[in-house]
Amino acid sequence: MANEGRTPVSAFMRSAIERSSWIRQMFEEGNRLKQIHGADQVFDFSLGNPSVPPPSAFRDVLVQVAGESRASDHRYMTNVGLIETREWVAGRARETHGLDDIDASCVVMTCGAAGGLNIFFRSILDPGDEIILLSPYFPEYLFYVENHGGKVVVVPTDGEFQPDLDAIEAAVTERTRAIVINSPNNPTGVVYRAELVEELGRRVDRIADERGAPLFLVSDEPYRRLIYTDARQPSALAACRHGIVCTSFSKDLGLAGERIGYVLLNPRYARRGDLFGALAIATRTLGFVNAPAFMQRVLPRCGDLSVDLGKYRANRDLIVDGLREAGYEMPSPDGAFFVFPAVPGGDDVAFCHLLRERRVLTVPGRGFGTPGHIRISYAVEPRVIERALPRFAEALQAAAAEHGEG
C-alpha cells in the first residue's frame, strides 16, 4: 500500500480525541464485556442517556402533527425558528423565570442545549477570550469553548459542590466573557443554592457595569425539570441582566436524539438585539441552519408534558440509599440522574477498574475536572441498580482493604 503520509486529522481534533479517550475506552470495554458475558450481565452506569421514555401522549402528538404535515413544512425556515414555537417557549419561560417581558424575541430555537452553547460561544468569543467553568463540569464544555477559539478557566466548587463566589470573582479577568453554571448538575446531581446564584448574578452585573464590557452568566439547565426534592432551582435570568439560558427537551421530555432546545436571552439586557442577530447567523455559519422543523411543530402541542419523574426519583432513592448503606459518601443529589461519590484513596481511575472487574461501568471524576470521585448515571432500569449494589459494596470494601481501612 502506498505511504499515505501524515494523518489527515488536525492537531485540534487529535487533542480532542486524546482527551475523550477515557470515555471511548469505557465504551469499548463495556462492549467487550457485553460480548463475553451477555448484555444483561454488565451493569452500565456510564451513559447520561435518558432511560425514561417520552409520555404516551407525546406519541399521539407526533402522529397528529405527521398527519397534518404539508409539503412546505419541511423546508428551510427562519434560522431562529418558527414564531409559534418561540411564542410557546416564551410563555413557559415567563412562568419559570417570573419575568413578564420575555417574548419570542428572546428565543432562538437550537439543536439541543449543545447547539445553543455552541452558537452562543461562536457569537461572543474572540480568540483567547476566557470562559469560566465550575468543576465538576460537563466535559463537553471544554470542546464547545475551544471550538470557537476560547480558553477555559476552571474554578472548583466547594466541598458540597456549590459555587464558591469569591473564587469565581477572583478568576474573572478582562478577557472573561462568561461564567457557565449548570444546575441540577451533571455530574453531581446537586442543585445550586438559589441565594448563591442570585448573589453571583448581582456580582456579574456589577462587574459588567464597572468595566463597560459584557460578562454573561450562562445557565445550562437541561435538567431544570428533573428535581426530586423541594430544592429551589434558581433563575439566572431573573438574578442577572447578563443572565442567559441554554437548555433543551433532551431530558425532561426524553428527546435527546431529536436535538431540540433553545437559547433564552434576557429581556432586560440592553444589547440583546446584537446578540440575537449574531446567534441567528451562527446557526447558519456552523451548519445547523435551524432547529429540527418537525419537533418545532410538535412542541407547542405538548403543553406541560414531561417524562415520568417518579421513575427517576425511585432510581435515585434506590441507588443513594444503597450506596450510603454500603459506605459511600456524597452530598444529597437533588436532581438530574447522576451521583458523584468520593472514592477511598482518591484514585478514581483505579476505583473504576475495581468496579469494572465486577462488570460495573462508571466514569472517573477526573473527566469532569474533579479526580477522587466517580460519576454514576442512574438513567438505567431499576433491576440494574438492584443487581449492581452488592458489587458497588464489594468494590468499596476491596479499595478500603487496599488502603488499610478495612
Which residues are near ligand PLP by CB under 6 A?
A: 48, 112-114, 138, 182, 186, 220, 222, 248, 250, 256, 261
Residue with smaller CB distance to ligand PLP, 222 or 300: 222
What is the DSSP pairing of strand 261-264 with strand 338-339? unpaired
Helices and strands (H, E) in the chain, number of each type: 14, 12
- Contact between residue 162 and residue 194 where contact means Cβ atoms under 8 Å apart: no
Residue nearer to ligand PLP on the CB measure, 176 or 248 = 248
- Residue whose CB is less far from ligand PLP, 19 or 268: 19
Q: Which is nearer to ligand PLP, 79 or 248 (CB)?
A: 248
Q: How far apart are CA 327 and CA 160, in angstroms?
A: 18
Least distance CB 70 / ligand PLP (angstroms): 28
Contact assessment for residue 341 and residue 330, using Cβ atoms and an 8 Å cutoff: yes
Shorter beta-carbon distance to ligand PLP: residue 344 or 364: 364
CB of 295 to ligand PLP, least distance (A): 12
Q: C-alpha angle with apex 389: 388 to 391, nearest 5 degrees?
A: 65
Q: Residue 107 forms beta bridges with which residues?
A: 264
For residues 372 and 343, the answer to whether their CB atoms sit within 8 Å is yes
Residues 333, 316: Cα–Cα separation, whole Å: 8
Q: What's 342's DSSP letter?
A: B
The amino acid that residue 268 corresponds to is R
Contact in structure between 336 and 189 (CB atoms under 8 Å): yes
> In whole angstroms, how close is the CB of 152 to ligand PLP at the nearest point?
15
Shortest distance in whole angstroms from residue 215 CB to ligand PLP: 21
Q: Which residue is nearest to ligand PLP (CB)?
A: 112
Q: Identify which of residues 148 and 359 has a Cβ nearer to ligand PLP in the complex.
A: 148
Query: What is the C-alpha separation between 202 and 133, in angstroms, rounded?
Result: 18
Residue with cell 421513575: 311
Locate 357 and state its grid cell: 472487574
The Cα 299–Cα 124 span in angstroms is: 29
Least distance between ligand PLP and beta carbon 261 (Å): 5
Could you tell me the smallest distance in angstroms from the CB atom of residue 325 to ligand PLP?
Answer: 27
Please identify, using beta-carbon distances, which residue of 111 and 330 lies nearer to ligand PLP: 111
Cβ proximity to ligand PLP, 112 vs 189, nearer residue:
112
Looking at beta carbons only, is 48 or 54 nearer to ligand PLP?
A: 48
For the bound state, the minimum distance from the C-beta of residue 186 to ligand PLP, rounded and expressed in Å, comes to 4
Contacts of 401 (CB under 8 A, 6+ apart): none
Whose Cβ is closer to ligand PLP: residue 257's or residue 273's? 257
Taking the complex as a whole, how short is the minimal distance between the CB of residue 223 and ligand PLP, in angstroms? 7
Residue 57 C-beta: closest distance to ligand PLP, Å: 21
Three-class SS string for 48-104?
CCCCCCCCHHHHHHHHHHHHHCCHHHHCCCCCCCCHHHHHHHHHHHHHHHCCCCCCH
CA distance 370 to 301: 41
Least CB distance from residue 343 to ligand PLP, whole Å?
22
